[in-house]
Structure 1
Amino acid sequence: MRKIAIGTLIGLAATLGAAPSANAGTPSLADLVQLKDIRPHQLAFQTIANNNGGNRASGEVGFEKSANYVVAKLTLAGYKPTIQRFAFPFYKEVTPSVFAQTAPSPTSYIHGTDYRTLDYSGAGDVTAAAVAVDPDAAGLGSGCEADDFAGFTAGSIALIRRGGCTFEVKTDNAQKAGASAVAYYQRPDVPDAPVEGTALRPFTIPLIGFTNKLGVELVQAAKAGDLKLHIKTDTISEQRTTSNIVAETAYGNPDRVVTVGAHLDSVAAGPGINDNGSGAGTVLTIAQKIGEIRGRVNNRVRFTFWGAEEGGDLGSKYYVANLSAEEKAKIALYLNLDMIGSPNGVRGVLDGDDSLGTNSSKPPAGSDAIEKAFTDYYAGRKLPLKQDAFTGSSDYQSFMDAGIPAGGVRSGTDTVKTAEEAAVFGGTAGVAYDPCYHQACDTYNNVNTTLLNELADGAAYATETFANSVPMVKRDNVPTPTNQTADKTGAGHTPAS
């Protein structure tokens, strides 16, 4: 998963909505989806990474083995999964980059601690003067407009603060201004963690990201006019192929599809067992268990496992772009699971009603009903939530861009937990939600199993809720189901074989 932002706390005053009615003696899907079923999938992903270069990144053998594993488990559960292949711009850092100050105070910085290489950085070896690109008037970041580089000296290294727009936009502006490399520094609200992210497409100049603390020091030196930096990167960018995996129930109304998804790929730096073996393992478990409640499944349920999310949601973008208008109209909503077991995390729910006012784009109509399903469920369990902004940083955005309602739960990336959050959710204030985010230490042991279990329960509950009925999701292009009575009441539906 790529970076996310967390919003305000949701208390326990929400009104509990009606859960799907279970037949006597039949457990709910939330009861059926258990931690003991999810953890073996995570262990399998860990074993695959251990045996294949330490990662499960798209374009690498570890991803292909992970995809084979998912397909095998889905087939064993009675599905006929589809493998959707697509080409994408593969990126890999061959050897660790070098970042140093050569003047006025020669200093070598530590890769992974002080700085990291951005995905899709070009390869190069640059020693040059550094020029600070000032933040905008709102202080959101710098480099988002071509005018930000007025007076920039070609051949210099651009010092740019993170925020305000994508790394792709910033890098494109810097490269057009003649920058020989770009050194991104972190936002003030993330003082100690280096910038980690993706430029979304290959660039020809080196791109690195470092901490806010170091950024403040280097900007001061640059404005004094005597800062020189050395940046060296060794990377590969080329076209490779990867895949999405799609499987759906053989029962339920095919004109109303509830889609549940997670990205399957990791970053190249590690095995990705929280990011996103937690989400993928949970979606796979829901798919395995949903047949036990098929009498309450009135709408078709589609399970999706995305490739190349870490490169910019490329798998889900490809999938949605290749749906016909008719097929898009059949998708009632999309539930996204991306990082739900962060070791120092929170119970986050995506802000479908836009009450935070901080979403990167307004959620499509119907997203509020998805958020409410989650808040109702956790209110019933007396478990508080944290509202979490849609930042465009995961596969939900591909569906939202097509006007499809979206929502989900998640536990956080490398943003630092506040004292207020620690008081509500436990854990340690001043430490990232996932200290191993996008690192080699994101292993089988890098999971908060209590949080994973709770968020998986909510995901299963929401899946069953909408598999049973979606009339509360107001979306203009959702066709009227063939069996309206069954859709509204959950009764009288005979599943297809």
Structure 2
Amino acid sequence: MSSRPTTRRRLGAGGLALGLVLGATAAGATGLSAATAAEKKPGASADRKAGPTVDRLSRQLQRATTPQGVREHMLRLQAISDANGGNRSTGTPGYQASKDYVVSQLRNAGYRPQVQPFFVDVFRENAPTELEQVSPDPTTYVADEDFTVMDYSGSGEVSAEVVVVDTDLSPSATSTSGCEVDDFATFPDGAIALMQRGTCAFAVKVANATEAGAAGAIVFNRGTEGEDGVVAGTLGGPGDYVPAVGASYATGLDLADAGTVARIAVDATSENARTWNVVAETRSGNGGNVVMAGAHLDSVAEGAGINDNGSGSAGLLELAEAAAERGSFRNTVRFAWWGAEEQGLFGSDHYVSDLKADNPGALADIRMYLNFDMIGSPNFVRFVYDGDGSAGGPVGPAGSAAIEKSFRTHFRGKGLTSAPTEFNGRSDYGPFIAEGIPAGGLFSGAEGVKTDEEAALFGGTAGEAYDACYHQACDDINNISMRAVNQFTNAMADVTARYGASTRALNADYERTSRAFTPRSDAARR
């Protein structure tokens, strides 16, 4: 799952558009002829009448999608990471090997997978970033526990006085610290700017500090419930920035006393890297009514990313293999493994934006999108994306409520509790929702802290993160709850089978809309 920006932009690979890889017509992307795609009315249900075997198909697919098979795929991703520098991040041999593994497994299962290349800016640390308090209380802060480098930070080493910018340091979700040029009206040249996370993008804060003559920038967390840990942020892309780090709320307070001197050292580079999406679909089924399911394949640079998101990728691969063997769908089911999610959803954005530009009919044929990001968190909750907004977050495009209901009905039928989680823009449903495509899916929890109420409902330990190894080196094969994987993959198989048979459940609240997706809280950029 990304903690990176969801800013939507075309990547610098226009010549490598989806049309060149999957074909310039809808036939390459969905199996439809161009004429058929043109005749298809956006939003119209085109599935064939569901027969009496839907329950049987669901049971077959659930039995064939085994936790043992998912674990085998995760073990292979772990081995790939081990053999390639300890990660599978975008632009690395580890990611390329992960892509090759998925492609080979799909071909062995009888699919004709399509590989979609594109380019994305990738940020890499050449040496570990350092943050210290030099005086009055010399302290060496711990990476990932107290602070972390901002993606696309400038490089350099600076020791200077820390100056608080427009915040009284109290917990706040609405702080505008550093968001306005006027915040720096009296800022001393050459100091380090200490700003609180709040209502504007990290890039705005750091750019304003840079323009004001700051030598470095520290953005500390809000301090509100569940938002006191390290800020893992991004500046959105390369730029003329000073060295910049994100910090925990406690670290921010520790550095805020007048006269404090700190040291920041960043040695990092940005490069334009080639990466790939992998897409495969069932060879039978109505190509004008596509049920799409996806998971991001890349890890962060810190580790193997076996929960985030080797678990979702492995579960999806096991499901695709089971569907090839057992599936007999009336609708086309399309599977996708996204690249560069951790940089900001760029793989799914590239896929959607290229379809929109080159073949809007093929985009309209995508009836729904199901997203599976982190399905094996050790301290998990059975989260279902909140299509109807009942948990207080944004409402998904019409039809999303029906998808949420399908997953929650599955869990209820197994005697399992589930809970809604908002569409906060941090995973690959974002580009689909932005085009009005109904979306839903599953998530077992990331860096958020389990509440007492959740522990009572789901088990596990209150007061601890759902995944204490989120975006860290310890996110390896030992960081997986196979109990969660089993429960989640059963739900994936059940709901995919039912919508593969018929999408009529969406009709009651479905309408095609072009409204933009505007999450209530954009955790990735602020």
TM-score (normalizing by structure 1): 0.87
* Residue 342 (structure 1) aligned with residue 374 (structure 2): no
CA distance in 2, matches of 1:387, 1:87: 34
The number of aligned residues is 458
C-alpha deviations, 1:47-76, integer Å up to 9, x for none? 000010000001000000000000000001
Q: State whether residues 190 and 212 of structure 1, in contact with CA within 8 Å, keep that contact through their aligned partners in structure 2.
A: no
CA distance in 2, matches of 1:164, 1:416: 22
Q: Which amino acid aligns with 2:251?
A: L
* Residue 62 (structure 1) aligned with residue 94 (structure 2): yes
- Map of 2:231 onto structure 1: 195
C-alpha deviations, 1:314-338, integer Å up to 9, x for none? 1111111100211110011111111
- Map of 1:164 onto structure 2: 199
- Map of 1:12 onto structure 2: none
- Map of 1:278 onto structure 2: 311
- Map of 1:245 onto structure 2: 278
- Map of 1:308 onto structure 2: 340
Q: Aligned-pair distance for 1:147?
A: 4.9
Deviates more, 1:201-210 or 1:46-55: 201-210
Q: Aligned in 2, Cα 1:391/1:26: closer, same or farther, shift over 3 Å?
A: closer
Q: Aligned in 2, Cα 1:182/1:284: closer, same or farther, shift over 3 Å?
A: same
1:48-447 alignment to 2 at 5 Å? Answer: 48-134=80-166, 139-143=173-177, 145-147=179-181, 149-151=183-185, 152-188=187-223, 189-190=225-226, 193-203=229-239, 204-219=241-256, 221=257, 224=258, 226-295=259-328, 297-323=329-355, 324-359=359-394, 362-447=395-480
Q: Aligned in 2, Cα 1:76/1:195: closer, same or farther, shift over 3 Å?
A: same
CA distance in 2, matches of 1:47, 1:342: 20
Q: For structure 1, which runs of at least 5 residues remain unmatched after alignment?
A: 5-17, 479-497
Q: Which amino acid aligns with 1:52?
A: N
CA distance in 1, matches of 2:412, 2:55: 23
Q: State whether residues 198 and 312 of structure 1, in contact with CA within 8 Å, keep that contact through their aligned partners in structure 2.
A: no
C-alpha deviations, 1:16-43, integer Å up to 9, x for none? xx99844769833223211011000000
Q: Which amino acid aligns with 2:234?
A: T
Deviates more, 1:170-179 or 1:266-275: 170-179
Q: Aligned in 2, Cα 1:400/1:173: closer, same or farther, shift over 3 Å?
A: farther
Deviates more, 1:71-80 or 1:208-217: 208-217
Q: State whether residues 20 and 464 of structure 1, in contact with CA within 8 Å, keep that contact through their aligned partners in structure 2.
A: no
CA distance in 2, matches of 1:51, 1:254: 39
Deviates more, 1:371-380 or 1:24-33: 24-33
Q: Aligned in 2, Cα 1:378/1:413: closer, same or farther, shift over 3 Å?
A: same
Q: Which amino acid aligns with 1:197?
A: G
Choose which of 22, 35, 59 in structure 1 pairs with 2:67.
35
Q: For structure 2, which runs of at least 5 residues remain unmatched after alignment?
A: 5-49, 514-526
1:469-480 alignment to 2 at 5 Å? Answer: 469-473=502-506, 474-477=509-512
Q: Aligned-pair distance for 1:113?
A: 2.4
Q: Aligned-pair distance for 1:161?
A: 2.1
Q: Aligned-pair distance for 1:192?
A: 6.2
CA distance in 2, matches of 1:230, 1:407: 44
CA distance in 1, matches of 2:322, 2:494: 12
SS in 2 for 1:428: coil
Q: Which amino acid aligns with 1:127?
A: S
Q: State whether residues 133 and 149 of structure 1, in contact with CA within 8 Å, keep that contact through their aligned partners in structure 2.
A: yes
Q: Aligned-pair distance for 1:457?
A: 1.2
CA distance in 2, matches of 1:389, 1:19: 34
Q: Which amino acid aligns with 2:249?
A: N
Q: State whether residues 120 and 200 of structure 1, in contact with CA within 8 Å, keep that contact through their aligned partners in structure 2.
A: yes
Q: State whether residues 133 and 148 of structure 1, in contact with CA within 8 Å, keep that contact through their aligned partners in structure 2.
A: no
Q: Which amino acid aligns with 2:243?
A: P
Percent of aligned pairs sharing the same letter: 43
SS in 1 for 2:59: coil
CA distance in 2, matches of 1:144, 1:402: 32
Q: Which amino acid aligns with 1:201?
A: G
* Residue 463 (structure 1) aligned with residue 496 (structure 2): yes
Q: Aligned-pair distance for 1:191?
A: 6.7
Q: Aligned-pair distance for 1:446?
A: 0.3
CA distance in 2, matches of 1:394, 1:144: 27
CA distance in 1, matches of 2:301, 2:465: 21
SS in 1 for 2:265: strand
CA distance in 2, matches of 1:376, 1:71: 33
TM-score (normalizing by structure 2): 0.82
